[in-house]
Each structure stands twice: as C-alpha cells, then as structure tokens.
Structure 1
Amino acid sequence: MPKAVRYDEFGGIDVLRVEEVARLAPGEGQVLVRVKAAGINPSEAAIRTGAVADMFPSTFPSGQGSDLAGVIEEVGPGVDAFSPGDEVIGFSNNRASQAELVLVEAGDLTRKPESVPWEVAGGLYVVGVTAWGAVHAVHPKEGETVVVSGAAGGVGSLAVQLTRRTGATVIGLADENNHAWLKGHGVIPVVYGDGVADRIRAAAPSGVDAFIDTYGHGYVELALNLGVAVERIDTIADFAAAAKYRVKTDGGTAAGPGAKVLAELAGLIADGHLEVPIANVYPLAQVREAYTELERRHTHGKIVLRP
C-alpha cells in the first residue's frame, strides 16, 4: 500500500506521521501520479497548526502538500493529454501531494522538461506561482528599483530573478550568508534588521518604486515609509497590514491558471534563465525533520521531500 503524510488534529510538528493509505483509482479527468518529489511550504505549517482555520478549514485525518512532480501511473476517463509513463509537474488542491501516489486533475499538470531535476520540479508550484503573481502585481519596469524582503527564501529567490528579467534594479533583503548568491544573480544585497531603511536609501538614492514582501513583520510599513505607493506594494505574508493599509496580496491563485504558469517557469528553468535553489532534500519518512528546518525561517531556497 502507498504511504502518505497524515495528521489527526491541529498541532505542532509532532502531529505529523507517515502511514499506509488506500490506493485510489483516477476518475473522470484525473490521473494517478507516482510522486518523485514534493515541496514543503510555510502555508502548510500554518494550516496544520490551525492558525488559519477560518480561511482554510480542515477535516481529519488530513493530508498535506500542494507541490509535486512525478510519473503518471494511470489515467482516468476523458484524459487525452497524458499517458502512463509521462513525467509531469503539477499541484494538488486537496492537501495530498506529500505521498507516494496522488490523484491529480489532468488540468493541473504540465510536462516536465527532461533537464529540470526532480527536486526542482517537485518544489516549483507554490513558490513559483506565488513569486510570479507578486512580481506581476507590482508591475516592475526597466530602470525602476524594486525591494524584495526575504530575498533568499523559497518565494523571494524566484521573485528577485523574475523582477530582474523585467530590467528593474532589485534590492534583496537577506542574511549576509546569502549575499553572494544574490550578487551572482544581479541583485543588490542589503542585510535586514535595525537600520535597514537607511541601508535601502543608500542603495537606492533615487528612491524605491515597488516593494515585494515575502516575510512580513513590518515590511509593509517599511515600504510605506520609503515612499512606495500603496498600489505598488505586495505582501504574501502580512495580511493584517495589507488590510490596514490596503496594499496588494497577490500571489498564488492571483497568478492565473497554475499549470500555464508552471509551464512558463519550467521552460525558463530548462533554458537556464531561472534557478530554484534547493536547501535540502528529505525522505518522506523524515517529514517532521523537514518542517523543523522550514519553520526556523532561515532557509535559502526550497526544502523538498522524496517519497
């Protein structure tokens, strides 16, 4: 029997377990995917604790995860675009991707380019479409200056690269350990913490045109203090500040059809125009260890599970 991540109640990392589950058959428009890699994300940790139960209610036992990449084992009725053996990248909206076998809607998949590693493909969906949506929300233009907080994280590391592709100057807020990587991708690194506003002003003497916040904890207020217009601030982490100041919260589903965006991002990766840093890879059985690392919030890039 296939194995999957499950939990029976809201709580900390200790509620997570890996257990055998029934093998499901694909229905109309569905495919069964044998997962090769599945990313993990902060949003899943928040759902598991119950902190966002009003927005994302749960039923138990609950599975976990959206990101996935794998090989199609079976196709259901009405599926013509894929066949068994096809390598695919996709996502599940049923909190189910952290498993050996996952039922996926065929419309939520795109083909995996051969040159894209499994770990990269399996961790692409959430961070990829979120970064894509956040960048498009602030409309960066050539010659402008954009600040990205959490610039070395899963979403931030992609947001800085996508913003650079528009021709904008990018200032990335990150720990000094990640400054070399940012410089190597054409980003001006600035260390976060006390005095960050002054350091940003020194790096951008002509001012800041847009701000993408992937971290929260006061960065919306910082963007406003830097003189950034409300309509050019996007946060994916501080919804209380977004409601208070009416800044944007685009990302995720705001990016548009997920499979279409995935195909675009996978193409950029295959052509060498986009890098998805992989911080660590854990076997499925070590899901608790993986989330322990994630929840320290100092990860450079993605953490991925390998069933």
Structure 2
Amino acid sequence: MPQRQTEQLHAAARGLDARPIEEIGATLLAGQLDALRAVSSATVDIARGGQLMAEAVRAGGQLVYAAAGSSGLMAMADACELAGTFGLPPERTRILMAGGIPKDAAMPGDTEDDTQEAEAAASIIGKGDAVILLSASGRTPYALKIAAIARDRGAHVIGLANNPETPLLALADVAICLPTPPEVISGSTRMGAGTAQKAALNMMSTIMGVALGHVHDGMMVNLRADNDKLRDRAARMVADIASVPHEQAETALATANGRVKPAVLLAMGAPNLTLAEDLLTKADGRLRAAMAALHSHA
C-alpha cells in the first residue's frame, strides 16, 4: 500500500528540532495555514453536507457524529456547539467516539480498530439520520464499520477524510476530501488534518444552520440564551433586526420566553405571541419570511 499523505514526512521538518524556537513556531503555523488552504478544494461538497444535515433535521432525524482519536475530538467539538448556537435539541445530536468520550487525558489508540464496539455504538442509527464520519486516513476500522451500518439502515453518510480515494469516501453519500499536506510532525493528525477537519465541520454545520433558518444577517437567531452574555446578545439582536431601543427588545424577549425570532416579530408590532409563532411556523422558521408576512398582515 502506498504511504498515505498524512503519514509522509513534511519537507520543512528535516532538522526541525535543531532550530530556534521561534523558527519552529513559524514552521508550525505555515503547516496550519497550508492545511486550511486544502479545505478550499472541498467547499462544494461541504455545502452539500450541510444541506444534507439540514434535511435530516427537518425530517426529524438525528445528527450522528462518529470518529476515533483526534478526529473524534473535532467531531465532539462541533456536535456540542449545535444546541447553544442553533437551538437544536441536544438529544437529536449523538456523538460516537471510539473508546467513549474521554473522562481524562488518556485516549488509547487501539480503540480505533474495535469494530465490535463500532457495531454496538451504531445501534442508535436509524433511517433518515445524517451520520458524519471523520477519519484522517480514510481507513479507520471504527469509522468504516459505522459507515457501512449507516448505509444499510438508510441513513445519509457524510464522510470527511484527508487522503483521497480511501474507503470512507467510497462509502459516503457526500464525500469530503480535505487533501492536507504531510504533517510537520509526521503522522500527528491532530495538527494540520485536525485543523482542516474543524474548519470543514464549522462550515458544514453553519450551512446547516443557515438552511434551517437559524441565521439572519450573520446573527444566530435561534441561539439558546442561557447565560448573561447570551441574554445580552439576544437583546442586541432583537434591537438591531427590529430597529427598536434595547429596553423594548428586552420586553419583547421576556414575552417570547427568551426566543429571538418571535421577539423580533413582537418588537416589530406583532400584537401577540400566538401570531408571531404562527407566522414563523408558516415561514418554516425563517425570520426574514416571517417579517415580510407580518408587514403584509399589517
């Protein structure tokens, strides 16, 4: 088998340990930037992945993130942000990580080969779910087993790998290849490959949020405001979108139980919360369309 790109030695790595610390830092940064540039070749497929995630959520399916090792940490980071950022019910997002989610700093490497664990973990996958699988090599047994089971059950498979023409990409309905160059620390895919994966996941889940109507003019209008910072952000969003004073925005938010979208409609003149919610339902949760409907209703 030819050596995978992620396992090769980086051209700038020879003599790395003998260089001044600041030069090592510059070399590492260059490696990260090169990894991010690799994401640009996959933007169309990333957008397709985001749309597929949105379709699964609309149809009542789950989002299932699955991976091992460093890729698992990238998956977990994205999955755990969806409830707070876009208001997705936490129980609709599942995280399958080889060996389980770490409780300390120990993360054994042999768990990525455990296909029996993968088979057991995949029991929660159902028809219509969107299963997001990550593997830098594209060959991780844990990820491949879950991908195969997901396909058999009628789930939608989104595969992210950093090596082209690999088994994971072949199993995916949406194949996202992030062709990152060799790591400055050979094989340490927590670095360049992980950075590219994190960027791709950020883009994909944000595209999902936009498609679901949870973003308006770059604002996360379906956020879960559960701390003082986010409550202030919610009030500022309502004030900005509805063009009303901050105090009026806070009053609308209180009436809407902290939800930004209906609060905007109330601040814009919707006579009651029932009408605001009805307008949003008819607009499929899209605030801009609901605002236009409110103008027509008036």
Name the TM-score, length of structure 2 as normaliser: 0.34
Structure that is richer in strand per residue: 1
Question: Over alpha carbons, which structure has the higher Rg?
Answer: 2
Name the TM-score, length of structure 1 as normaliser: 0.34
